Amino acid sequence: MPHNKERALEPIEFIQMLKAVDDFYGQPFILLDWQYDILWDVYGTVKDNGYRQYRYSYLEVPKKNGKTSLIAGIALYHLICDGAGGQIYACAADRQQAELVYRAACGMIEQDPELESILKVLDSKKEIINKETGTTMKVLSAEAYTKHGINPTVVIFDKSLSPMLEIA
């Protein structure tokens, strides 16, 4: 499969402009080698027609290795860089688990005045809205994902140990 360097570097560079959360709060988000490789392959590997080869990514990494921060960065990338009207969902078996990605994204937003000016955080709804494009990020429990009326462009499903990313 061909590789598109520009497509791979866009999310990589975006995420590395963010600030880290949790134990490294306030420090630059420097991707670990495995994080860089995941983004490089998922976003840069393209088919002959130029579309991304991969729509699904399954990630299994032990705790405390930066999964949640990476996934939050990916969610923010799509929230900012995708077209108008996108729907990004952070899902898990229960709502508390799903909120981990949301809280990490909020921590990244609060450290960046430019993101704060573009994004509106509705904490009571566990939702983030891009004020310019109408793209939203919402927290859902696993059973809510089966409900009617959603048209996701990105789904992050945390199965406790193994987050899965689906990009439409």
Share of the chain above pLDDT 70, in %: 89
- pLDDT for the residue 55: 83
- pLDDT for the residue 146: 57
In tens, the pLDDT along 20-32 reads 998 899 999 999 9
In tens, the pLDDT along 56-76 reads 888 887 878 888 899 999 999
Looking at residue 81, its amino acid is C
Which domains, from first to last, does the chain contain? 5-167 (3.40.50.300)
Residue 104 has pLDDT above 80, yes or no: yes
Residue 1 has pLDDT above 80, yes or no: no
pLDDT, the chain, mean = 86
Q: Cβ distance 134 to 69 under 8 Å?
A: no
- Measured distance CA(138)–CA(166) in Å, rounded: 15
**DSSP classification of residue 32:** P
Q: Cβ distance 117 to 105 under 8 Å?
A: no
Instruction: Place 114 in a pLDDT band, splitting at 50, 70 and 90.
Output: very high
Q: Cβ distance 77 to 105 under 8 Å?
A: no
Instruction: Place 84 in a pLDDT band, splitting at 50, 70 and 90.
Output: very high
